[in-house]
Structure 1
Amino acid sequence: MDGLIAIIRRQWRVVGLCVAVFVMLGIGYMLTAVPRYTARTSVLIDRGNRQVVEQLSTIGGVLDDEASVLSQVELLRSETIGLSAVDKLELSDDPEFMAGRRSLLLAAVSDIRSILDIRRWPGGGEVRFDQIEAQRRQALANLLGNMKVSRVGRSYVLEITFTATSPRLAAAVAGAIADAYLTDKLDAKYDATRRAGTWLQERIEELRQRSLESDLAVQRFRAENGLVTANDRLVSDQQLTELNSALIVARADTARAQARSDRIEAIIARGQSEAIVTDALDSSVISSLREKYLESSKREADISRRLGQGHVQAARLRQEMAEYDRLMFDELKRIAGSYQSELEVAQSRERQITLGVSNATDISVTAGETQVQLRELERAADAYRNLYQTFLQRYQEAVQQQSFPVTEARIISRAVPPTTASEPRLSLVLALCLALGCGVGGVLGAFREFRDRFFRTGEQVRDILGLEYLGSVPLVQPQTGSRPSTEPVKGEIYRKNELSGFATEHPSSAFAETLRSARIAADVQIDRPHRVIGIVSMLAGEGKSTIAVNFAQTLARSARTLLIDVDLRNPGATRALGQHAEEGLLEVLLEGVAPASAMLADPVTGLKFLPAVVRRRIPHSSELLASAAMARLLAQVAGEFDYIVLDLPPLGPVVDARAIAPRVDGFIMVVEWGETSRKAVKETLDAEPQIAGRCLGVILNKVDAARVRLYEGYGSSDYYASRYTHYYHETHPDPTPVSIGAATRVKTAREKPDSSR
């Protein structure tokens, strides 16, 4: 609900504009539309005159009545009734009726079609276009287009309405339609009564013959295919069921025999004569040999204890034990042979049963296919038998009934010329215009919302990227001529425009507060005395260099800070602060220039800045950033500064940020509000896990303060952003001390919103 309300707040202007346009169109239609009149007549379907139909019908009730009434509605709309009314009133020759309310566009289309009709061209063929029939059909189209037939509630009353530009014509046509309907009912009943007897008699004879033929075909088919059944089941199906049960048992026996054989083969392969299997325990030979083995082992142990291991008697007993062991092992081999025999017998039995199942399946399939044909023959026989009985019954009932030329409907209300116009209706037109305006506006608004795939709020940053939202930076327009024209001083930072020092000049602004939030995130998440922080964005032009410059100046107020412009392709920070520099990062990395001599200093904040003086295109910039020289530079300056801020290239166009990522402690992602796609940022961070894992948070840059309120969800942190303005001041604080009595005036002047935001 909160999201829906937010969408309405954003798109209500679009909806309102569409509603206004459609309302104006509706008013224009009301002012230019031709008044039209509607005449009504009512026809009652009299159930008392339908005795013959009710007696012949075997199904009655509401459903049959509903269908009957709807059928009469369609009959009134049919061409038969319409042409009867056209011919009776000669409407095809009535210019008022034929004119109708056809628009100029339809008239032009009709004229073009007549011109393009090759049958009208000289020599275009011998086919002659019947103008009279064309006018008759056109009159029918006009009649059906202006006629409406509806049922009055749940009754048997049908209301016929006709709309025309003349009250007299509307009443005449409505009455002619009702009269044509009654005449058609009489004619239809007479024709049905005359044809029913002849048709039923011919049809009954044909069905009797087909019923006999189908019954004989069923009996012959059973006899020819030998479809024998027992207990309502084919014998082949019963045999297949029994064989399937036997196959399950045989497979279980085979598996059991296979397991026993595998077990004893494994015992024999390892030479474990003492291993125990079921048949070894039941074997009297192995039991006897084991008893002798144990007795000899006991005696050998006793002699060895008393007379020593080398005694002749002890050696002889050990030989006996070895012989007993060999005999037990031979007995195990004989048991293994018996297991193998049992396995072969089980496998043979399984193969035989499987073959029997396959044969029985083939027989069952063949019988099944034959039964399909049999069931088809039986259904045909039953159908013909039922049809024959039904038609015979209908014929006997129809012969006993007398058909009278009475109609089943009558007119209960004649059409009279209306006194007031029925079209156009002001309320209906306005309601339709409002509905269309809301609908079109809603569709346009939904399309605009669907196309809005950019970052707008901090909640979107947290939900989609899973990163911390550090804050937003409002869109700041630098004031023309606000900075004095001075010459740059060698060795010092020269701010080219107001944006390069906005946070320093406006420390109480939302801009500066967001940068302080980023500093807190860096201090909390990076547990090192010297922190290397990279400012990165997805695309160029998102304002990362401006954020990097202001962030570094904010840090330099209270800590030793170095700003390095490592964007060797497009050095934005250098253009803002050190456009006058003669040497910079490239000279330090490639020519061995001392970093201190290439740095620029800010006399106001104490910030040190290492620019990137690019005099030619550098295609191998990523190799320079990943080189050992860059590593030595960062290690050298790490002992001299508390914060090292890197203005990195964007992630999308180049891979430079990925190359230097291992040497960066944390990244701050700058995303342009309302311009950078959420999908593009997420895919880029997913493809760069090393950067995403060290990302301290996201800053939304260039936020439109007037539009961002439309994306504030109720209860969210952004919803209360309007209250935060009491703590933000876009103007530079006044250092002049004031008295307590003048504090109120000073506060009011400072809280006045700046029009340059």
Structure 2
Amino acid sequence: MTKPVQERRITWTKDNAHLLAGYRDEPRVDMGSILRAMRRQAPLAIICALTGIVIAVLMILGSLPRYTAVETVLLDEERAELLNEVSPLPNAVWSDTAVQSEIEIIKSRALAYQVVDLLNLDEDADFLSPPVGATQRVLGLVSLVTDPLARLLTPAPPAPSASGSDESESGGGTAVELDFNLDVTDRDRAVQILRDRLSVSRSGRSLVIEIGFTDFEPRRAAMIARGYGWSYEGFQLVTTNEIAAKAEGWLRERLDRLEQKSMEAAAAVQEFRATNDLVEVRGNLLTEQQQSELASALMNASANAAEAEAQLESMESLLARSREGEEVITVPFVEGQFGAGNEALRRDYLDGRLRYRRLVTQFGPDHPQAQQLKSSLDLLREAIEVELEQATEAARVSYLMSRSREESLRADLEAITGSSDTAVALRGRLQQLEAISETYAQVYRDYLARLEVATQQQNFPIAAIKIISPAEVPKSASSPQKKAMLFAGMLLGGMLGVLIGAARELLPKPIRTVSTLRQELGLSCVGLLPGRKSLDDRGAAAARSRTLERLAQACEVNLKSPGGLLVGIAPLSSGLEDPTALPVALAAHLSRNGARRVMVIHEDPAHAPASSESKDGIETVSLPAVLDSWSETKSVVGGQGFDFGLLAKHLRDEFSFVIVALRPISEASRSDPHAWAYDTTLLRIPWGQVLPGFLTDALLDHPRFRDSLATTVLEDAQLATARRYMNRGSYEELEINA
């Protein structure tokens, strides 16, 4: 059954637990290590920050004050619209691109030349040769070294080929050589200085442009800033006039050509009409006029014929109904009106029929008056029928006449429209010539109108900008910016210190704590021996006494009875403050106030006294003296050869502890040269001078010394620095601060 996954902590450094607690390889975030690293490197960061502040102060003191004057210009939309009304080419709307274009115009060399000429800056020696501060001088000295290197690394421009020069010479008079004056004059240098010190920016998203100029003289800075405003306004006026003048010249040239073309086109039309006898009446040609009139008459005749045909059909229908016995009392004429006789018959007929109906209603149809009225009505009906027959014949005659007129007009129209193809081609060519002539005339009128507008614009003294805040003489210097430079120096220096400190923490660190030896290398360590720099530390004496006591205990643990113990004590490397102090101090602890005999043997005669010394049970001698004395003794006894084992046994029998102060093991010419001289070994490690890898390699090179190693000691320690590498509240820290 699997266990639940436990949360792992991420470590900033390698996590090795104490040997007694076992090895632990799970990662974790060691905030204590991070805080200790910050505490250790804080002085470095502070020193770098203070160095940055000092450099900033030096730069401020070595820099000359500069003053910036600002001229504020508004891109006026209302004036731009007014210019659009009189401009032959409409101006662009003030978009972001247009505003950026105006900024580039202000930065241009053309405008800078105008400012130079306006203020005569090329004749101002102070402007052309500004004062130089100490900071600039230092930078100039640096450039004296870097510029030659840059020129050395810059490839030379390609030389012109001989063939090219020969070709130019062979060209003779056909080749045109342009003489460009590329020499740098005072005017050019003044322009370059102007552009280097000029700053142009847009105020937010508005149409306001701020023109700033920086100079060592406040009044000159304000004067040049105002000069830029005036020059920019004049530049727009001149540019507008130049555009209008160029447009006018071009338009006049085009108008001359268009006038000639228009006159030639009109003359061609008139000549073609006269040649082909094409007479125009009321805006149309004669044939076209006749065709139009015949078509109109034909349409009227067709309408009249249709009307006559309808009347005829109506008359014939009425006549047929009358003959079939149907009562018909209306007889219309061709003109659509009733005649006087027809109207009288109709009225008499209607009156008689009304009386007849009354008599029949009162007296019946057989009444004599009713019979008489009926006879009168029959006669009237016959008269109306005769009138109807006459009207029908008249309608037929009118219809035939209308039909005949329609056919005659149609024949005439067909005769006119059915003319030859030559006439059609002539009319088409005439229309083409007229179209060309009208086009030239229209283009000429348009260009003439544009010429009038361009002429008006040349004398229109309005620019599309407005100066809303003239530059004033600055009262305070704009640079050097003291607060910003101090803050930047402190920030950059502090960041550099943090980077250096981080690099120091990430790189392998020398051995400075007991825990490093115990946890990372697995070596026993009795503690720290304070160096000279830690003598004033309140825990130095206690730490030294405690470490020496532990070192003595480590030796006494290995003491076997009977016989003494040979202790080899050697530094890891050279560089200890006092190589003889520790053996002598350890001997004093091991003697226990003279209760034990202790000998201190120095391998290096320079560290031993000239002759053997004995004090409080402690005898100090050099190793060569011991060897010489032992050789003489053996020779007296009868000598069986030089035996180091017998010498060691003799020393054990004579002394309780024999401390052999060896040279640094890293400087030994061969591995373990004095292995006979120790039963147990002590290693002196210079505090903060060697890396863990160096110690490991040195012990691997001296296996006998390593196998007999009882413990180690960190010598010449700086307790104030060592505390920064210890865990706060750890046993090691409490021991030092006790």
TM (normalized to structure 1)? 0.45
Larger Rg: 2
TM (normalized to structure 2)? 0.46
Query: Relative contact order (alpha carbons < 8 A, sep ≥ 6): 1 or 2 greater?
Result: 2
